[in-house]
Chain A
Amino acid sequence: MKGRVKRELDKRAPKLVETGKKTLILQGTKTSGTLNSVLSEIYNLKKGGAVRYTRKNDNIRPFESGGETSLEFFSLKTDCSIFVYSSHSKKRPNNLVIGRMYDHHVYDLIEVGVENFKSIESFSYDKKIAPRVGSKPFIAFIGEGFENVDELKHLKEVLLDLLRGEVVENINLAGLDRAYVCTAISSNKVYLTHCALRLKKSGTVVPRMELVEVGPSMDLVVRRHRLPNEGLRKEAMKTAKDQPKKKVKNVSSDAIQGTVGKIYIPDQKVGEMALPNKAKGVKRERREAKNKEANEHASKKQKEESE
Chain B
Amino acid sequence: MFRYELVKECLQEGTKLVQVVADSLFNLPSTQDVDGPLVKLPPPTTKLPREKHLPKPKPPTKWEEFAKRKGIKKRKKDKVAWDEQNGTWKRRFGYDSVNDGKDIPIIEAKMTDEPGEDPFAKRQDDKKKRVEKQEKNRLQNLKQAAKLGALPSLLQPCSACCYGSAPPKKVTKDELGNVAGMAATSTASGGKFDRKLPGEKPAKKQGKHRKFLPVVEGTGIGSREKEQTENDKLISKHSHEILNLDKSYSHDVTMYNVKKKKIKKARNRKNQEGKSSSTSNKLKPKKQLHKKGAKKGPGSSKKGKAQ
Q: Is the CB of B50 within 8 A of A195?
A: no
- B36 nearest CB neighbor, chain A only: A174
Interface flags for A212-242 (1: CB within 8 Å of B; 0: not) read 0100010000000000100001011111100
* C-alpha gap A117/B41 in the complex (Å): 34
A138 to chain B, nearest CB (A): 5
- Number of B residues contacting the other chain (C-beta, 8 Å)? 42
Question: Which chain B residues border A175 with CB–CB below 8 Å?
Answer: 35-36
B161 to chain A, nearest CB (A): 8
Asked if A103 is at the interface (CB within 8 A of a chain B CB), the reply is: yes
Q: Is the CB of A157 within 8 A of B36?
A: no
Q: Is the CB of B10 within 8 A of A142?
A: yes
Given the contacts A173-B37, A207-B22, A237-B49, A13 and B7 also touching, CB distance less than 8 Å: no
* C-alpha gap A171/B39 in the complex (Å): 6
Question: Which chain A residues border B55 with CB–CB below 8 Å?
Answer: 13-16
Q: Which of A172, A233, A239 contacts B36 (CB 8 A)?
A: A172
- Binding site secondary structure of chain B: mixed
Given the contacts A172-B37, A209-B15, A13 and B26 also touching, CB distance less than 8 Å: no
Given the contacts A170-B41, A173-B30, A193 and B7 also touching, CB distance less than 8 Å: yes
- B40 nearest CB neighbor, chain A only: A170
Question: Which chain B residues border A239 with CB–CB below 8 Å?
Answer: 47, 50
- B33 nearest CB neighbor, chain A only: A172
Interface residues of B in 137-167 (CB under 8 A from A): 152, 154-155, 161, 163-164
B36 to chain A, nearest CB (A): 3
Given the contacts A173-B36, A233-B49, A238-B50, A206 and B11 also touching, CB distance less than 8 Å: no
- B156 nearest CB neighbor, chain A only: A9
Can you list 30 A-B contacts (CB < 8 A)? A9-B154, A12-B152, A14-B55, A16-B55, A76-B163, A76-B164, A101-B51, A102-B51, A138-B17, A138-B22, A140-B18, A142-B17, A164-B48, A169-B40, A171-B39, A172-B36, A179-B14, A179-B18, A181-B13, A181-B14, A183-B13, A191-B10, A193-B7, A193-B11, A209-B15, A217-B7, A228-B49, A233-B49, A237-B50, A238-B50
Give the 6 A-B residue pairs with the shortest CB-CB distance, closest first: A174-B36, A181-B14, A81-B51, A236-B49, A13-B152, A14-B52
